[in-house]
Structure 1
Amino acid sequence: MLTAHAGHAAGAVPPVALVPLGMFWLYLAAALRQRDPGRPGWSHRRTASFGLGAALLAAGLAWPGDDLPGHMWQHLLLGMLAPLALMLGAPGTLALHTLDRRTGRAAVRLLRHPAARVAAHPVTGLVLTAGGLWLLYLTPLYRASLDSPALHGLVDLHFVLAGYLFSWSIAGPDPGPHRPRVPVRLLVLGVAVAAHATIAQLLYAGLLVDVPATGDELRAAATVMYYGGDLAEILLALALLVAWRPDRLPARAAVRA
C-alpha cells in the first residue's frame, strides 16, 4: 500500500515511508500559522490526531509485507487506521484557514459541484473500500500485484485514498458536499462491517479467494482483517456519534414539555 513492495532490505526504511513525515511537517507549519495575531488558533487535539495518522501511515509503508498476514497488517494500517486519524485532524479545514479568500472560495465552489457530491457520498466510499477488497482477493489482482511493484503501489494508493474518503464521508469534520443524515451514514457503515466480515470469513475458510498462501497464513490474515477491521470501524462509529449534534432534539423536547 504505497509500499516499495516486499523487496526492501530487512531493517531498511523505504524512502516512500518518509512521505507522511513531510505531510505532517506541512500540516504543522499551517497549524502554527494559525497562532499569528488576528488568527483563531488551531486545535492541539486535531494536530495530535493528524500526527498519529502520519505515524501510522509511515509504519504501514515500512511494514514488511512479505506474506499475506504482513500484507493484511499493511492494509489495516494504511487503509483504515491511518486514514481515520488523518481525517480527524481536519486537514481540509486547516487548508481553508491558511489559503487566501479567493482560493478558499474557489475550493468551496468546487466542493459544491454535483460530481463532488457523488464522489463524497458514503456509498461511493463503501464501493471503493469494500469493493476494492473483494476485487483484490477474489480475482487474480493480488497475485498480479506480487509480481509488479508498480501495480502493488497503485493498489496501496487506492486503499489509502479510498479509506480516507470513506472515513471522511462518514464522520469527517471538514466541510464538504451535503452528507446524508447520521442514521443513513450508520447504515452504510454497518454494510461496510458486514462486507469486511464476509471477506474475512472467506479468507479464513479459503473459499472463492485467489490468494497464494497456506491455510495457516489465510487464517492469520483473516483474523487480522476481522478483528482489526472491527476495531477501526468501531472507532469510526464513535467519531461520528461524538460529533453528532441532532438539531431537532431540543425542539422536540420543548414541544413535549
Structure 2
Amino acid sequence: MTHQAHLLALSGMFILVLMTIGLWFAYLLGVRAQRRARKGWSCWRLGSFSLGCGLLVIALSPSMVEWGHNDLRGHMTQHLLLGMFAPIALMLGTPGTLLLRSVPVVRARRIMQLAGTPPARWLSHPVTALVLDIGGLYLLYLTPLYQLSFSEPLVHVGLHLHFVLAGYLFCWSIAGPDPAPHRPGMFVRLVVLFAAIAAHSTLGKLMYAHGFPKDAGHSLAEIEAAAQLMYYGGDLAELLLALVFFATWYRHRHAPDNDWQTADRRAQQ
C-alpha cells in the first residue's frame, strides 16, 4: 500500500471510529429517555453495548491498524475483535429492543412490519448470515482479495465494516435477545452454529497447512501463528455465543413476557 493509500485507509478507519462513538451516544440518549420515562433499562445491557463499542474503537485505533497492516497476526486480532467479540457484546446490549421502546407506536409498528417482509426475513436467516460472515472470510483469505485490500483503501475499509455488520448479523440471528418475529427454531440455529464452528476451524487449518493467504508478503511462521489465533480465538468466541444462545433460550422459555412481546402489544394498541 502506498503512503497516500495508507493515509486514506487511516482516514476511513477514523470515520468508522466516529460512527461507533456516534452510535454509542445515540444508545445513551435512548437509555436516558427510558429512565426519564421510568421504564428502566438494565445496567448490564448498557455495559455490554459500551464494551462492544469499546472493542470496536480499540480494533480501529491507529496502533491496531498499523499492526494489522504490517503483521497478519495483528490483522487476525482485528478480525476477531471486529467480527466476533464486539458483535456479541453489542448484541447483548439489545439495541433493537431499545429502538422499539423509544420510537412512537406507529413507527414501531412499521419497523415490525419491515422485519416481517421476505427480503428482511431472508437476510436475517441464520444460513444467510453464516454465508455472509464465514463465507466472506473464505473469500478474503483464499483469494487475491486480501492482497487487493492493501492496495485499495475503499476495499480495506469496506472489509472492516463487513466484519462488524456480518458478525453482528450472524450473532443476532443465532442468539440475539432482540426482536425476531420469524427467527427459525432452536434446532435450526444450533445446527447453523455448529456449521459455523466447523467452517471457521477448517479455514484456520487450511491457512496453517497451505500458507494462505499466498503471495501476501507474510512469512510461513507468521501465517501459522495467525491461523492458530483464528482457530483458538474463534473457538472461544463461538463458545461464548453458544453460552449466550442457551442462556437466551432458557430465559425466553421461562419468562415468555419478553421485550419483543411487550413492544408487539404496544404497537397493536
Quick check: TM above 0.5? yes
Structure 1 residue aligned with 2:209: 205
Q: Residues 37-76 of structure 1 correspond to what in structure 2 (within 5 A)? A: 37=37, 39-62=38-61, 63-64=64-65, 65-66=68-69, 67-76=71-80
1:168 to 165, 172, 190: 172
Q: 1:157 to 1:73 in 2, by over 3 A?
A: same
User: What is the Cα deviation at residue 33 of structure 1?
Assistant: 0.8
Q: Distance in 2 between matches of 1:166 and 1:34?
A: 28
Equivalent position of 2:241 in the other structure:
236
1:50-77 per-residue CA deviation (whole Å, 9 max, x = no partner) reads 0000000111111131221111011000
Whether contact under 8 Å (2:146, 2:213) holds in the other structure is no
The Cα of 1:114 is off from its aligned counterpart by 1.4
Measure, in 1, the Cα distance between the counterparts of 2:163 and 2:9: 24
The residue that corresponds to 1:81 in the other structure is 85
Q: Residue 259 of structure 2 corresponds to which residue in structure 1? A: none
Structure 2: state its 5+ residue gaps.
255-269
- Alignment length, in residue pairs? 242
**What is the alpha-carbon root mean square deviation over aligned residues?**
2.2
C-alpha separation in 1, matches of 2:14 and 2:79: 17
Question: Structure 2-normalised TM-score?
Answer: 0.84
Q: With the length of structure 1 as denominator, give the TM-score of the two structures.
A: 0.88
Deviations 1:152-182 (A, max 9, x none): 1111111110000000000111112411111
Equivalent-residue separation in structure 1 for 2:160 and 2:189 (angstroms): 25
The structure-2 alpha-carbon separation of the partners of 1:175 and 1:119, relative to structure 1 and needing over 3 Å to count, comes to same
Give the aligned partner of residue 223 of structure 1: 228
Post-superposition Cα deviations, 1:59-111, rounded to whole Å, max 9, x if no partner, equal 11111312211110110000111111101100010011111111111100000
Report what 1:178 is aligned to.
Answer: 182
**What secondary structure does 1:95 align onto?**
helix
Between 93-102 and 209-218, the greater mean CA deviation after superposition: 209-218
Cross-structure match for 1:92: 96
Distance 1:219 1:35 in 2: 50
Going by fraction, where is helix more abundant, 1 or 2?
A: 2
1:191 to 2:190 alignment:
no
How far the C-alpha of 1:140 sits from its partner, in A, is: 0.6
CA distance in 1, matches of 2:106, 2:8: 44
Kept in 2: contact 1:83–1:164 (CA 8 A): yes
Any idea what the Cα deviations from partners look like across 1:116-169, whole Å, max 9, x if unmatched?
Answer: 111111001100111000000111100100111111111111111000000000
Unpaired runs of at least 5, structure 1: 249-257
**Which runs of at least 4 in structure 1 moved beyond 4 Å after TM superposition?**
4-10
